Amino acid sequence: MLKLLKNIGIIVLTLLILLIAFSLFRPDPWITSSTKENQIGYSGKISFEGYEKLIESYDKAKNKPSTLKITSTGGHGLAGILIGRFVKEKGMGVQVHKYCASSCANYVFPAGKQKRLSDDALVMYHGGYFQENLLSKMLTNHQSKKVDNLYKDNNANNEAALFNASEVESKLKNKYFPDKGACTKPLGDTEVIAESALRCLKFKQDIEVEFFALLNVDPKLPYYGQKGDYKASYQAYKHSGFYYDLKSLEKMGLDNIEIIGGDWKPSENIFFEKLYKISL
């Protein structure tokens, strides 16, 4: 009996070690394809590399997947727009498992022909290329690398990382969005840096405007929770972002939303307490 328990313990420990190793070393994002469910799974960061893996998986599938099932905390905005364009072009649905935040919420979820949410899933926003204070955040973020002057904001790193990208991601960005030097990392004094940042931001804003027009979605989608009656909640910097109730998402132009299981229970999501609710 003791020997049996010992063997079971060894098996459980081995499986636990393998699970931890898989979690630590699996690719980010993790792309899977299911012929049975007719879908592609995307779990992890929104990136240009992730976009290329997604395209590769789709092209390899004999029966083209009709749904993108995604779980993501976000990532590069332009990569999110690329994925959104692809979803729109292929007429795919988007299914959110647990959470879809930042560039995933801004650009991937709205692109779905059908939009399905797990009963506890959240679509979470915290701004984008048109938010009013983004330029000042980018400059503060840039200067904070030289001096101890960090912007006291939960989202500062996410929102202000205009110039932060790996070499691979930078090359891929220029492959899909050639900016003719508009977003080259600036060198020089504060004025030169500010002019460069503004030029790069304008380049990205134009792409976002075109994208939301393509989807026929309200371009205020990523920003409504930072303005008007919600400005105080945003500027308190006590939250990681905001979410919309279902009717408000529809008013923003996100139609064909379905809750898997029938009843939506966002309060059961682990991120619920970090967000504030938007109702139009």
Cβ neighbours for 130, distance < 8 A, ≥ 6 positions apart: 205, 208, 219, 222, 223
* The predicted structure's pLDDT at residue 167: 63
* The predicted structure's pLDDT at residue 237: 84
Cβ neighbours for 23, distance < 8 A, ≥ 6 positions apart: none
Peptide bond into 186 cis (omega under 30): no
| pLDDT confidence bin for 246, thresholds 50/70/90 | very high
Element (H, E) at 198: helix 190-215
Distance of CA 153 to the CA centre of its chain: 18
Residue 66's CB: how many other CB atoms inside 10 A?
A: 15
CATH for 27-127+223-278 is 3.90.226
pLDDT at 166 over 80: no
CB 115 within 8 A of CB 256: yes
Amino acid making up residue 166: S
* The predicted structure's pLDDT at residue 82: 96
Look up the pTM and report it.
0.82
Strand partners, 242: 125, 276
Distance between first and last Cα of the chain: 64
Calculate the dihedral angle through the C-alpha atoms of 249, 255, 256, 261, rounding to the nearest 10 degrees.
10
Locate CATH 3.90.226 in the chain: 27-127+223-278
Give the highest mean pLDDT range of 33-42, 77-86, 133-142, 153-162: 77-86
β-strands 275-278, 241-244 pairing:
parallel
CA-wise closest residue to 52 among 73, 27, 21, 24: 27
* The predicted structure's pLDDT at residue 34: 76
Instruction: Give tens-digit pLDDT for 126-139.
Output: 998 998 877 776 66
Q: What percent of the chain has pLDDT over 70?
A: 76
